[in-house]
Amino acid sequence: MGRAEADDQPSQPVSYEEKLTQFSTYLEGDDLDPSVVALGLRRLFASYSEKPETEQNPAYLFTHLGLLAQLSLERLRQVGHQESSLAPIISLKNGFGSMLQSLFPGDAQQAEPDPSPMPPIQEMSQPKGGDKSPKRKTPPTEPKKPRGRPRKNPQTPPSEPEQ
């Protein structure tokens, strides 16, 4: 079947699972390009997002894509790519991690340092994702004392005004 004949066929959308298989096969090769890997991760994200909402599981998606990004980084390093060329994949990996962390704020994962040439934004006292600590540091040990004028105790008779 020639290329022209293949173009005449209605194109079926490629499922997430098929794209995942293609991506995994690509990662097994030795001729890896970081821009192709980053594009593959973005396409996986997009194809998963096309699934019906009832079939979507964001926790699975961000965990899975974060692990794929980590695996991709390891493979690219194995075949000799420099850290500077891995910045888009590191950014995607950290983005997937941030999205996962927003779903489960208690489970913090260490993000990989971004080797991009831009300096990191300094965050003074706020950890990434905002303050997760409770607002009150220690539970109250005794009940609060009322403020303002004391109330008349209904159990004691009102005092007689002096004349």
Q: What is the rounded CA–CA span in Å between residue 60 and residue 66?
A: 10
Which DSSP helix (H) or strand (E) runs through 92?
A: helix 87-103
Task: Read off the pLDDT of residues 5-24 as tens digits, 9 standing for 90 and up.
Answer: 445 555 667 788 899 999 99
**Residues 66-75, mean pLDDT to the nearest whole number:** 94
Q: What is the dihedral of CA 18, 24, 27, 28, to 10 degrees?
A: -120
> What is the reported pTM?
0.56
- From the list 84, 75, 64, the residue with the least C-alpha distance to 26 is 75
Q: Centre a 10 Å sphere on the Cβ of residue 40 and count the other Cβ atoms it contains.
A: 21
Percent of the chain's residues with pLDDT above 90: 33
Burial (CB count <10 Å: 0-12, 13-18, 19+), residue 150: exposed
Q: What is the dihedral of CA 145, 147, 152, 153, to 10 degrees?
A: -10
Task: Read off the pLDDT of residues 82-92 as tens digits, 9 standing for 90 and up.
Answer: 888 999 999 99
**Sequence ranges of the domains in the chain:** 13-103
Between 21 and 162, residue with greater pLDDT: 21
Residues, the chain: 163
Between 110 and 36, residue with greater pLDDT: 36
Q: Which amino acid is it at 134?
A: P
pLDDT confidence tier of residue 120, bands split at 50, 70 and 90: very low
Find the helix packing angle between 34-49 and 16-28, rounded to 10°.
160
